[in-house]
Amino acid sequence: MTTNRTSSNKLQAGNKSMLGLALQDFWDGIKELAALIWSSPTAMIGLVVVLGWVFVAIFAPFITRYSPLEQDYKQINKSPTPDHILGTDTMGRDVWARVAYGARTILSLGPISVLAAFLVGLVLGLPAGYYGGWVDEVVMRLLDSLMAFPTILLYMIIISALGPSYFNVVIAIAIGGAPGIARLVRALAMDIRTREYVAAARLRGDPDFLIMLREILPNCRGPLIVDFLLRIGYAAFYIGTLGFLGLGLPPPTPDWGGMVQEGHSRMSANIWPVLSATVAIVTLVIGLNMFADGLREESMRYQ
Amino acid sequence: MDQIPPIEITPAPEPPVLVVKNLAVTYKTRNRSIEAVRDVSFEINRGENLGLVGESGCGKSTAAFSIVNFLGPNGRVTHGDILFKGEQLRNRPESELRKLRGSQISMVYQEPMSALNPSMRIQDQMAESLIVHRGFSKDQAYTDSLEMLKKVYMPDAEGVLRRFAHQLSGGQQQRVLIAMAMLNNPSLLIMDEPTTALDVTVEAAVLDLIAELQQRYQTAALYISHNLGVVARVSHKVAVMYAGEIVELARTTNIFHNPLHPYTMGLMRCLPDVDAPKGTRVLHPITGRVPSPANLPPGCIFAPRCELAIPACTQQHPNLVELSTGHQVRCIRAAEWASTGRIWSLSEDGNVEPCPDRAQESVETVLKVNEAKVYYPVPFKTVAGLFGMEKRKYVHASDDVSFSVKRGRTLGIVGESGCGKSTIAKAIVGLEPIYDGKIEFLNVDVSKQLNKRGIESIKDLQMVFQDPNGVLNPSYSVGDQIAFSLRRFQTVPPTQVKSEVERLLRAVKLDESYYNRLPRQLSGGEKQRVGIARAIATNPAMVVCDEPVSALDVSVQAAVLNLLLEIQNSRNTTLILISHDLSSVRFFADDVAVMYLGRIVEIGPCESIFCKPNHPYTTALLAAVPRPDPDVEPSRVRLSGRVPSAVNPPDGCRFHTRCPVKIGQICEQQEPPYRALGGGHIICCHLTEEQLINSISGS
């Protein structure tokens, strides 16, 4: 018993130091990333804009006076007043509240749908790139047939077939984004599979799925992270478009695209709902793109 | 070609072509500025060739590129003078430098393929510089280009002019680049490792050409190389660089026969000698690594790696002192050695024991390869082929290769690139499928691919790879990667994995602190050691080493070769050493197989391969090895032409298209027999033993 305990104690101590080292590594990684972002003005500006929207989304209840669904029939289509800093829409809802809560929608929907797209893209792209040959041929032709549709048309087909809902928007963006991601992953995997550490993994008899997950995937992460950020930007843009076409989230959910759709027919009378939502979409997309581009440029500069 | 002619020592009436004085170059990186080159001074006279040698990262290329301001956007000359024919080049506007670069200073680069424009015909690329810099008409420029190509002994010069870069072999491309560099009859030629990317046979021919052209046109040349043998062959003066400084500068004979800086001595003591039989030569690696210019040690920068350092060395930074005429050394103890003469010799016994000869000890055959063929299918180019209506073509990467290896011995496989030596290695470990034939390992048939082999065969047959940058997964720590193997094969109980990894790290001369390091924090040699630790983690019976040291610096090469020897001696591991470097094979191997175009042309004990009689191809390979000794008369045996395509290998003897001693039709039509010369020495040639001896001495 005693020996057992001492050995388990020792093990714990070992684990602790291992955990400490892992944390140290993680912290070093963060510091390195911070230095990278700090040295690129583009990435810095992008990050500030994006973090601004994240702040708005998280603290929406504290920085707005009204609920986004609260209708006030005495205050319809008002211009900005100290009470309603961005005015009100056709139903008398506070535009600022809808923009702030809309940020929640888009900042949760965007990453989740892109994550879903990455899952699909990885499952298709990794084997295609690693095995090559007929596996690659079959996967690529499948993706080509998807890519043959204009993206927005593909989204419209999927949403009108499944009906507009939070979950279906995720599915549509996952299907629409997967081919591009799969192609990127495939290209990276085709390069990495020729590296000698992959041969070394084969020489210890590792099964193929383990090689793909342990040897290839972690080394794709740089380009994939940049692509992920860019795609959140595109997703925000497409979610807006779907909202405008009436295929986004069902009303009365606060949604930037939906706000433009609802407000555009009365634009000449009250431009504020449309303008606010448009500026919101534009700044978020540009912010994400600047962040991703700056990160990519800066990480490639000294190579 | 001939020996380098001696240069007149009497002061030349004309000023030196190039004078570099107290040059300093700084690179700006994200966090700070790094002084990559400091206090570098040298002169090059007309017709003189200055060799610039040193390990990688010593600032050789930076010093050379600063002359023409090719330092890239973040590099800048911060101090010193660059005088070209008496004129200051530093701070000249880019437009003037560009004019100078095309007409008076020419450059030849390491990678001929990337130095040529792939979308322009050779004639247009060559003519361009004549048209731009000298205002020639197109026709005249073409005529001159043709003439120049003939002067560099380009076979079929007219045909080459009309081709694109990818239609030429590496040697031809480099010849075109040299011709291009010589077109405007430049006063200064800067060559950055021009033969490093070439095969040894091609390298020898290109070196002949450089020496001859320089002599004929009296061009001054700056020749950068990491290979001391190459520098001994072409240079009159040698400057040894270390961590951004010149540590020794002298005439070539002095550098090689009377080196006075410990770094120069170290560089020479770690070279294997192709002419020394196995067991007679000891390699002394230089310990440690080149310090980063951002983090230089105090005092003498070489002191931390110097075996001869005394406490005073770390106190003050030594100056470059001229000890005898033209011999400058940056070492405070140099005068001591200059007066006492040589303080070391090549045969001197150090801590390392010479490699024992295991020729007669072993009887058990570990690996038996029997007529193994590795073919790669050529993709169909026609629609008919796609539907199976055309005969499938194959690249004959390895053809009918047979050999066997006994336990505890080393088989070296040598040959030019593309001769199939790596292919057969990969087939043995199972990374490439075999088209036909049989491979038996420890009496088990392993002629199938990895996933169909038993775990025991996989465990007992491991590999050491070539590229230190690709050998480790950048995402995992060193310890994790070795542990992967231990866990997979359950070599030790799971609780002991960590201590076993540490034991392995110590076995390859790295300490436990490396466990948590990431590959990018390691130098090339350290990565290669980890690769070796991973390969021996499973305690394999055989390790296949595919060019394990060819991407490493010479000082590190020696350490890795010593390590492999030590591991072999302590574990009785059987090794296959694939290498294009005959010196390291002679140092290391017990048996040697020479491959040409997928076939073994000669196989036998190391000593009989390196002595006559041998196959004409082996003779040529041996003749081409550059010797690190300026007094060795370069051999006249040279191979012409290029390795033929492996899709349609020549009939008869595959070597007949390039063979200098071809005897006639029989070589073109009949496959030569494998002729046993006794002692296990087998030659695949139509010539008899006497003919082989006579033909070689007569040619």
Contact B474 A35 (CB under 8 A): no
Contact A195 B429 (CB under 8 A): no
3-state secondary structure of A15: helix
Residue B306 clears pLDDT 80, i.e. is over it:
yes
Q: Which residues in chain B touch residue A302, judged by CB atoms under 8 angstroms apart?
A: 29-30
- Residues 205-244, chain A, touching B (beta carbon < 8 A): 205-206, 214-215, 218-219, 221
Q: Which residues in chain B touch residue A199, judged by CB atoms under 8 angstroms apart?
A: 431, 463, 465
Q: Which residues in chain B touch residue A205, judged by CB atoms under 8 angstroms apart?
A: 450-451, 455, 458, 488
Closest chain A residue to B453 measured between Cα atoms? A205
The pLDDT of residue B286? 83
Question: Which of A91-105, B338-352, B387-401 holds the top average pLDDT?
Answer: A91-105
Question: Rounded mean pLDDT of B404-430?
Answer: 88
Give pairs for B534-537: CB < 8 Å, separation 24+: B534/A200, B534/B481, B534/B482, B534/B485, B535/B462, B535/B463, B535/B464, B536/B462, B536/B504, B536/B507, B536/B567, B536/B571, B536/B573, B537/B482, B537/B485, B537/B486, B537/B491, B537/B500, B537/B501, B537/B504
Residue B2 clears pLDDT 60, i.e. is over it:
no
Q: What is the pLDDT of residues B570-620, one digit of tens each?
A: 888 999 999 888 888 988 888 999 999 888 999 998 888 888 778 888 888
When mean pLDDT is compared across A167-181, A201-215, B70-84, B235-249, the lowest value belongs to B70-84
Q: What is the pLDDT of residues A81-97, one digit of tens each?
A: 887 888 788 787 888 88
Q: Which residues in chain B touch residue A209, judged by CB atoms under 8 angstroms apart?
A: none
Exposure letters B17-48 (e unless 16+ CB within 10 A, then b)? bbbbeebbbbbeeeeeebbbbbbbbbbbbbbb
Closest approach of chain A CAs to the CA of B485, in angstroms? 6
How far from each other are the two terminal CA atoms of chain B, in whole angstroms?
14
Closest chain A residue to B535 measured between Cα atoms? A200
Give B387's pLDDT tier (boundaries 50, 70, 90): confident
The pLDDT of residue A13? 40
Strands B674-676 and B436-441: unpaired
Do residues B233 and B256 touch, judged by C-beta distance below 8 A? no
Q: Which residues in chain B touch residue A218, judged by CB atoms under 8 angstroms apart?
A: 473, 475-476
Residue with tokens 């290979």: B227
A204 touches chain B (CB under 8 A): yes
Closest approach of chain B CAs to the CA of A147, in angstroms? 26
Closest chain A residue to B430 measured between Cα atoms? A203
> What residue ranges in B305-408 does DSSP mark as E strands?
321-324, 327-329, 365-377, 394-406
Question: Rounded mean pLDDT of B33-59?
Answer: 89
Contact B431 A199 (CB under 8 A): yes
Do residues B194 and B174 touch, judged by C-beta distance below 8 A? yes
Closest chain B residue to A37 measured between Cα atoms? B30
Do residues B423 and B403 touch, judged by C-beta distance below 8 A? no
Q: What is the pLDDT of residues B199-241, one digit of tens each?
A: 888 888 888 888 888 888 889 999 999 888 889 888 999 999 9
Do residues B405 and B574 touch, judged by C-beta distance below 8 A? yes
Written as six digits, the tokens of B43 are: 């002169």
Contact B30 A205 (CB under 8 A): no
Do residues B242 and B304 touch, judged by C-beta distance below 8 A? no
Distance CA B221, CA B210 (A): 10
| Bridge partners of residue B223, in order along the sequence | B51, B191
Contact A219 B475 (CB under 8 A): yes
Closest approach of chain B CAs to the CA of A303, in angstroms? 11
Phi/psi at A249 (nearest 5 deg)? -75, 140
Written as six digits, the tokens of B339 are: 């007066």
Q: Which residues in chain B touch residue A206, judged by CB atoms under 8 angstroms apart?
A: 484, 488
Closest approach of chain B CAs to the CA of A103, in angstroms? 35
Q: Any idea of the CA torsion for A141, A147, A149, A155, to the nearest 10 degrees?
A: 120
Q: Which residues in chain B touch residue A203, judged by CB atoms under 8 angstroms apart?
A: 429-431, 450, 458, 462-463
A136 touches chain B (CB under 8 A): no
Q: Which residues in chain B touch residue A294, judged by CB atoms under 8 angstroms apart?
A: none
Residue A7 clears pLDDT 50, i.e. is over it:
no
The pLDDT of residue A21? 65
The pLDDT of residue B611? 81
Residue B33 clears pLDDT 60, i.e. is over it:
yes
Q: Which residues in chain B touch residue A29, judged by CB atoms under 8 angstroms apart?
A: none
Counting residues of chain B whose pLDDT is more than 70, the rounded percentage is 93
Question: Which of B450, B471, B498 has the CB atom closest to A196's CB atom?
Answer: B471
Closest chain B residue to A222 measured between Cα atoms? B475
Contact A219 B30 (CB under 8 A): no
The pLDDT of residue A179? 93
Question: Rounded mean pLDDT of B369-389?
Answer: 78
Closest approach of chain A CAs to the CA of B558, in angstroms? 22
Strands B674-676 and B682-684: antiparallel
Q: Which residues in chain B touch residue A34, judged by CB atoms under 8 angstroms apart?
A: none
Q: Which residues in chain A touch residue B488, judged by CB atoms under 8 angstroms apart?
A: 204-206
Q: What is the topology classification, in CATH, of domain B365-604? A: Rossmann fold (3.40.50)
Counting residues of chain A whose pLDDT is more than 90, the rounded percentage is 31
Select the residue from A197, A217, A224, A298 to test the B interface by mutation, using most B Cβ atoms within 10 A: A197
For residue B544, give the H/E element and its range: strand B542-546
Angstrom distances, CA of residue B322 to CA of B49, B325, B328: 20, 7, 4
Angstrom distances, CA of residue B33 to CA of B24, B26, B30, B295: 12, 6, 8, 12
Question: Which of A21, A197, A205 has the CB atom closest to B473's CB atom?
Answer: A197
The pLDDT of residue A6? 38
The pLDDT of residue A2? 38
For chain A, what are the domain ranges?
1-38, 50-301
The pLDDT of residue B325? 79
Contact A199 B465 (CB under 8 A): yes
Q: Which residues in chain A touch residue B386, judged by CB atoms under 8 angstroms apart?
A: none
Give B28's pLDDT tier (boundaries 50, 70, 90): confident
The pLDDT of residue B695? 67
Distance CA B53, CA B235 (A): 11
The pLDDT of residue B678? 77
Do residues A120 and A174 touch, judged by C-beta distance below 8 A? yes
Strands B410-414 and B436-441: unpaired
Residue B506 clears pLDDT 80, i.e. is over it:
yes
Q: Which has the closest alpha carbon to A50: A284, A267, A271, A240? A: A284
Cis peptide before A252 (omega within 30 of 0): yes
Residue with tokens 């609920």: A67
Give the Cβ contact number of residue B350 at 10 Å.
Answer: 11
Counting one residue from chain A and one from chain B, the pairs whose CB atoms sit within 8 A come to: 60
Closest chain B residue to A298 measured between Cα atoms? B30
Distance CA B365, CA B652 (A): 32
Q: What is the pLDDT of residues B233-285, one digit of tens each?
A: 889 999 999 988 999 999 998 888 888 888 988 888 888 888 877 777 778 88
Closest approach of chain A CAs to the CA of B32, in angstroms? 12
The pLDDT of residue A16? 46
Q: What is the separation of C-alpha B314 from the centre of its chain, rounded to a whole number of angstroms? A: 34
Distance CA A244, CA A261 (A): 5
The pLDDT of residue B592? 92
Counting residues of chain A whose pLDDT is more than 70, the rounded percentage is 91
Closest approach of chain B CAs to the CA of A298, in angstroms? 10
For chain B, what are the domain ranges?
115-183, 260-340, 365-604, 612-699
Residue B162 clears pLDDT 70, i.e. is over it:
yes
DSSP code per residue over B595-648: EETTEEEEEEEHHHHSSSS--HHHHHHHHHSPPS-TTSPPP-----S-PPPSSS
Give the Cβ contact number of residue B680 at 10 Å.
Answer: 12
- The CATH number of the domain covering residues in A50-301: 1.10.3720.10
Do residues A173 and A87 touch, judged by C-beta distance below 8 A? no
The pLDDT of residue A17? 58
Q: Which residues in chain B touch residue A24, judged by CB atoms under 8 angstroms apart?
A: none
A132 touches chain B (CB under 8 A): no
Distance CA B39, CA B261 (A): 17
Angstrom distances, CA of residue B23 to CA of B19, B28, B83: 10, 17, 11
Do residues B137 and B168 touch, judged by C-beta distance below 8 A? no
Distance CA A53, CA A285 (A): 11
Cis peptide before B613 (omega within 30 of 0): yes
Q: What is the separation of C-alpha A127 from the centre of its chain, rounded to a whole number of angstroms? A: 24
The pLDDT of residue A301? 64
Do residues A100 and A55 touch, judged by C-beta distance below 8 A? no
The pLDDT of residue B185? 85
Phi/psi at B648 (nearest 5 deg)? -120, 75
Select the residue from A131, A191, A196 to test the B interface by mutation, using most B Cβ atoms within 10 A: A196
DSSP secondary structure code for residue A26 in this structure: H
The pLDDT of residue A8? 40
DSSP secondary structure code for residue B471 in this structure: S
Distance CA B118, CA B166 (A): 7
Angstrom distances, CA of residue B550 to CA of A16, B57, B416: 41, 17, 13
Indicate the average pLDDT of chain B. 84
Q: Which has the closest alpha carbon to B187: B296, B75, B47, B287? A: B47
Select the residue from A203, A215, A220, A301 to test the B interface by mutation, using most B Cβ atoms within 10 A: A203
Q: Between vectors from CA A227 to CA A223 and to CA A228, what angle results, nearest 5°?
A: 115
**Residues of B within an 8 Å Cβ radius of A:** 29-31, 429-431, 450-451, 455, 458, 462-463, 465-467, 470-476, 481, 484-485, 488-489, 495, 498, 516, 531, 534, 538
